[in-house]
């Protein structure tokens, strides 16, 4: 099935690399105009926006700062005049043992980026969508939201679990305004962010915990985001979609 997103403007946070880049590329190939958010990788983001085409642009913001979340959303609306879909993908994965002097600081930073920024951008999107007759929010969470994570990543698991309740609450509260919300729960994904850990543990060790023979890649997640962005799956609003190579059922 070919999905045509021509005419839709979509903001993807954390889009300069990894999962976000794969999502942005797939959305662009389907005809969408993509607001490519980045924090530091200006060159990567600008290049990606040009490659996507469709009048896509790059937008800088540090999502740890509430004022930057507001500025990002305002900049996207000022540039394109509208937003049809918000993809909250940006996230951090800090290693924070209980004994670490930075434990509390890392906890706060993780929740600020992974959960608070998602909530702030979702709030702005909902207010915008209400004026336009509807829109879609797609949140990239993690299997850690449901099965937990290791002791060094308590904050990460907690932040991703918070996204579950947020997504379901948006779906329940605003569906009659034409606003739908979805959650994607990846597991191990072969990205730059996970490269060091994957190399340390070894792919063979990780895949032993999966139902499939290879790690998930960004391209494995992207088609589902394209489908959800299209509106063809709106009656799945509030749902969680596991894309983690069957790590729950293995």
Across the strands, what pairs with 37? Answer: 59
DSSP designation for 189? B
Q: How many CB atoms lie within 10 A of CB 50?
A: 12
Catalytic residue, candidates 38, 156, 174, 248: 156
Q: Between β-strands 179-186 and 57-60, what pairing exists: parallel, antiparallel or unpaired?
A: unpaired
Structure tokens at 37: 């958010």
CA distances from 197 to 73, 194, 200, 247 (A): 33, 5, 5, 18
52 close to 34: Cβ distance less than 8 angstroms = yes
Structure tokens at 185: 């729960």
Query: What is the Cβ-side half-sphere exposure of residue 122, based on CA atoms within 13 angstroms?
Result: 29
Q: Does the annotation mark 156 as catalytic? A: yes
Query: Of all helices (H) and strands (E), which one includes residue 154?
Result: helix 154-174
222 close to 23: Cβ distance less than 8 angstroms = yes
The rounded distance, in Å, linking the Cα atoms of 187 and 37 is 23
What is the chain's length?
Answer: 250
Catalytic residue numbers read 156
């Amino acid at each position: 099935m070919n999905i045509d997103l021509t005419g839709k403007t979509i903001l993807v946070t954390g889009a300069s690399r990894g999962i976000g880049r794969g999502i942005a590329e797939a959305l662009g190939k389907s005809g969408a105009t993509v607001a490519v958010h980045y924090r530091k990788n200006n060159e990567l983001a600008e290049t990606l926006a040009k490659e996507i085409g469709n009048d896509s642009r790059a937008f800088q913001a540090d999502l740890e700062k509430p004022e930057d979340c507001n500025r990002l959303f305002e900049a996207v609306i000022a540039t394109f005049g509208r937003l049809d879909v918000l993809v909250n993908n940006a996230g951090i994965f800090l290693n924070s043992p209980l004994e670490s002097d930075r434990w509390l600081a890392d906890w706060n930073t993780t929740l600020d980026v992974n959960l608070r920024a998602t909530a702030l951008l979702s709030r702005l999107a909902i207010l915008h969508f209400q004026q336009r007759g509807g829109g879609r929010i797609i949140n990239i969470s993690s299997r850690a939201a449901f099965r937990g994570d290791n002791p060094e990543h308590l904050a990460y698991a907690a932040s991703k679990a918070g996204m579950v309740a947020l997504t379901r609450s948006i779906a329940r509260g605003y569906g009659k305004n034409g606003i739908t919300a979805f959650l994607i729960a990846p597991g191990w994904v072969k990205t730059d962010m996970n490269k060091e850990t994957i190399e340390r543990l070894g792919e063979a060790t990780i895949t032993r915990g999966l139902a499939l023979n290879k790690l998930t890649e960004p391209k494995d997640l992207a088609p589902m985001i394209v489908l959800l962005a299209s509106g063809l799956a709106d009656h799945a609003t509030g749902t969680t979609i596991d894309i983690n190579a069957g790590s729950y059922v293995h």
